[in-house]
Amino acid sequence: MGQAKGLARGNAIRFGGHLLRWAALAAIVFVCMPGFAGIFGKAPVPDWGMQAYKTRTPEYAKDSAAVTLYDEIVETIDSKGRAVEREREAIRILKPQGRGHGCAVSYDVDEKVNYFRVWTIAADEKQYFAEDTDFVEEGGTGIPVMLSTRKVKVARPPAVDVGATIICESEELMRPYMQEKIWDIQDDIPVVFQALEIDLPAGEKHWQSWHNYKAVDPVEVAPNHFRWEIKDMPALDLRDIPSHPVWQALSARMAVDWGDSAADGVDSEWKSIGQWMTQLEADRPTPSPEITAEAQTLIAGAPDFYTKLSRITESIQKNIRYFIVERGIGGYQANRAADIYRNRYGDCKDKTTLLISMLQVAGIHGYYLMVDDRRGVVDPQAPSLAGNHMITAIEIPPDVNDPRLKAIVTGKDGKRYLIFDPTNERVPVGILPEYEQGSYGSLAAGDASQVIALPVLPPDANTNERTGKFTLGADGTLTGSVDAIRSGASGGELRNALKYSDDKERREALETSVAHDVPGVVLNSFEYVQPPALDKPIEIHYKLTAAQYAHTAGPLLLVRPRVVGSLAHAFDDKPRKFAIDLGSTGHWHDSFDIALPPGYVVDETPDPVDLDVGFATYHSTITAKDNQLHYERDYVVKKVELAASEAGVYRKLEGTILADEKGTAVLKKQ
């Protein structure tokens, strides 16, 4: 088996012809669809297209912008494992905004589009064949931080009005190193009928897995030629559903592998994926003399493992600029460490490569860990290359037990791995960005390759402590100061926002944030204190004045003790079908003192709140003492995601927080 075959691995995600989803091309994994224009001149709508066109629009699709009537993909695999993919698709436009649906073909330098033909059957049954002038090709040059050789050919066929049906057929020679097809069986429009065929050489095995869909048995339509069919797949529409997981985590898909990539069983398949990545990146991290010298300089005199580690990780986080270079297999394979180090830029694979390289110099083992930065996309029960990000698993020696290293998981091989994302330039080693917590990743560690559950960190790994001292005037004017300390992922996110803003923008952002709670506020001063070390908390200090913060109503003065900080999330009363994404675990604490104007006493305050719903606790009190109004609250979230069945409890929590945040104290003039 040659090298190319040895590197062979799965295909990518099909873009179901929906233009909007092309934004996902920014991911490390690019996607393929078939492609080239009407090179065969005018042709009538083929029989399969006419048959598809005759499909009645089902009742369940009536409210959709469009409906896919028919979508058939046939993968014909040659003796070297390389696929030729043919796709036939029929899409009916049902609503004016459905005109954006259509067909497109994506291809890269290692691929060849044999043909791409598109027809329209208008609502009045007139037929149109898309000419060359009805196609546009677009490269991946629109993303400022990416350089990609991938292109997309977009069909803009005539007569695409409500009631029209678009018929597309294409054939593409796929990448030689891919032996996986990811079949997206759910779209944002319904699909009436869809099928996938894999036509394998004799004796070639295959293996498939399903995500968010009950496995369908294939029919062997010819020797070693398998066909899966699915009917009446509903659209996945997440509009107006608050706090939902990402679309790609909830949508149904199937992955099928063949040849060397087809293992037997979930664990074996993950191992196969990891081994493929291990081989693909094998020589990439090899340290150059310059890297060796740099790493040795960094770790010189480091008193412990954590210090050694953090000096290396911070060096990469701070000094390597994020820039994606993807040329063909470069969508999966990193550049060489020496080049990355010299040029000081690279993407997630590159940053991980340089990190592993430097760790090697320090005698620490690091591994590639393929993940998706959208929780829930990587499914431990559905092994595949579905993912858009590369991070690092760092092997922790048995004798190291440092409490600062929180993001540790134990693999099936018994080893402890610290999960770290070097692409995130602000979240320090030891913890993990909140968007990756609770996800899964594919560890590339040779024979020890496996799927790994990324940790969910304890609330105290992500804290925001806010204190405020205010003075209220009899005219309602509030003056005072706020001091906040943010650590962990929360602090990292703030550091990241500060990196990409100047003082003017920071002031505007802070003023906008504070004004959300205190309309008309004027910031008298503000300061962000960022210690150079990423594991140190970031501080925010500001002074404010808000005219008419409290409102006079006859002899009363109404003041809201919760001056700043909104923790409540909007939720609705609708029945819940999908999981609830909580964003992150964390611990938020507010403590505000308001000195009352002379002559006023507290007449009434809202009741204290004391709520424990298991996955979160919320406590709040408003007290009055010695002419001071004191507000104190404590909010702890212990999970990153809830089952849909917990919607009622979540609703209660959010309603409680919102009511507490609006709570107003009534002051009365004596």
d(C-alpha 2, C-alpha 453), whole Å: 33
CB of 62 to another protein, least distance (A): 10
The residues, any chain, with a CB within 8 Å of residue 230's CB and separated by 6 or more, are 185, 191, 193, 194, 195, 213, 216
CB of 99 to another protein, least distance (A): 7
Instruction: Compute the Cα dihedral for 254, 258, 263, 265 and give only its sign.
Output: positive
Stretch that binds another protein, among 52-60, 125-133, 452-460, 591-599 (CB under 8 A): 125-133
Q: Which of 572, 598, 612, 652 binds another protein (CB under 8 A)?
A: 572
CB of 157 to another protein, least distance (A): 9
Cα distances from 196 to residues 32, 68, 155, 183, 609, in angstroms, run 15, 15, 23, 8, 55
286-325 positions binding another protein, by CB under 8 A: 319, 321, 323, 325
CB of 311 to another protein, least distance (A): 17
Count of H helices and E strands in the chain?
Answer: 11, 39
- Adjacent-strand bridge partners of 601: 668
Q: Which is nearer to another protein, 145 or 221 (CB)?
A: 145
CB of 290 to another protein, least distance (A): 11
Q: Which of 342, 412, 577, 652 binds another protein (CB under 8 A)?
A: 342
The residues, any chain, with a CB within 8 Å of residue 630's CB and separated by 6 or more, are 561, 591, 592, 593, 594, 621, 622, 623, 624
Stretch that binds another protein, among 67-75, 292-300, 306-314, 595-603 (CB under 8 A): 595-603
Q: Which of 1, 20, 43, 126 binds another protein (CB under 8 A)?
A: 126
Task: Give yes or no for residue 553 binding another protein (CB under 8 A).
Answer: yes
Task: Give yes or no for residue 666 binding another protein (CB under 8 A).
Answer: yes
What string of DSSP letters covers 549-588?
A: SSEEETTEEEE-S--S--------SSPP-S-EE----EEE
Q: Which is nearer to another protein, 30 or 305 (CB)?
A: 30
198-257 positions binding another protein, by CB under 8 A: 239-240
d(C-alpha 587, C-alpha 467), whole Å: 14
Strand order through the sheet with 551-553: 551-553, 556-559, 665-669, 600-604
Task: Give yes or no for residue 402 binding another protein (CB under 8 A).
Answer: no
Q: Which is nearer to another protein, 453 or 666 (CB)?
A: 666
CB of 107 to another protein, least distance (A): 11
CB-based burial label for 419 (10 Å; 0-12, 13-18, 19+): buried
Q: Which of 6, 44, 139, 531 binds another protein (CB under 8 A)?
A: 139
Contact by Cβ (8 Å): 481, 594: no
Task: Give yes or no for residue 137 binding another protein (CB under 8 A).
Answer: yes
Contact by Cβ (8 Å): 564, 482: yes
Please report the beta strands in 243-332, taking only residues with DSSP state E, as ranges in sequence order.
253-258, 321-322, 324-326
152-171 positions binding another protein, by CB under 8 A: 158-161
Task: Give yes or no for residue 125 binding another protein (CB under 8 A).
Answer: no
d(C-alpha 519, C-alpha 511), whole Å: 10
Task: Give yes or no for residue 555 binding another protein (CB under 8 A).
Answer: yes
Q: Which of 4, 400, 453, 515 binds another protein (CB under 8 A)?
A: 515
**What are the phi and psi torsion angles at 494 (to 5°)?**
-65, -45
Stretch that binds another protein, among 180-188, 394-402, 463-471, 510-518 (CB under 8 A): 510-518
Q: Which is nearer to another protein, 632 or 661 (CB)?
A: 661
Stretch that binds another protein, among 48-56, 90-98, 217-225, 260-268 (CB under 8 A): 90-98
Q: Which is nearer to another protein, 240 or 283 (CB)?
A: 240
d(C-alpha 346, C-alpha 326), whole Å: 10
Task: Give yes or no for residue 604 binding another protein (CB under 8 A).
Answer: yes
CB of 518 to another protein, least distance (A): 9
Task: Give yes or no for residue 44 binding another protein (CB under 8 A).
Answer: no
CB of 477 to another protein, least distance (A): 10
Task: Give yes or no for residue 504 binding another protein (CB under 8 A).
Answer: yes
Stretch that binds another protein, among 13-21, 213-221, 279-287, 518-526 (CB under 8 A): 518-526
Contact by Cβ (8 Å): 427, 492: yes
Angle subtended at Cα 403 by Cα 399 and Cα 407, rounded to the nearest 5 degrees: 95
Task: State how far Cα 188 lies from the chain centre.
Answer: 18
Task: Give yes or no for residue 149 binding another protein (CB under 8 A).
Answer: yes
Task: Give yes or no for residue 65 binding another protein (CB under 8 A).
Answer: yes
Q: Which of 79, 512, 524, 645 binds another protein (CB under 8 A)?
A: 512
Q: Which is nearer to another protein, 22 or 323 (CB)?
A: 323
Q: Which of 267, 474, 664, 669 binds another protein (CB under 8 A)?
A: 664
d(C-alpha 536, C-alpha 560), whole Å: 32
d(C-alpha 120, C-alpha 73), whole Å: 20
606-645 positions binding another protein, by CB under 8 A: 606-607
Cα distances from 94 to residues 24, 167, 189, 251, in angstroms, run 25, 15, 10, 22
344-373 positions binding another protein, by CB under 8 A: 344-345
Cα distances from 579 to residues 244, 569, 647, in angstroms, run 6, 15, 8
Determine what percent of the chain falls in helix, strand and coil, rounding each to the nearest 5. 25, 35, 40
Task: Give yes or no for residue 659 binding another protein (CB under 8 A).
Answer: yes
The residues, any chain, with a CB within 8 Å of residue 390's CB and separated by 6 or more, are 28, 334, 348, 349, 352, 368, 369, 370, 371, 423
Stretch that binds another protein, among 20-28, 228-236, 483-491, 657-665 (CB under 8 A): 657-665
**What are the phi and psi torsion angles at 120 (to 5°)?**
-125, 135
Stretch that binds another protein, among 219-227, 459-467, 551-559, 586-594 (CB under 8 A): 551-559
Q: Which of 131, 483, 539, 634 binds another protein (CB under 8 A)?
A: 131
Task: Give yes or no for residue 343 binding another protein (CB under 8 A).
Answer: yes
CB of 91 to another protein, least distance (A): 16
d(C-alpha 107, C-alpha 153), whole Å: 8
- Structure tokens that stand for 179 in this block: 């032996």
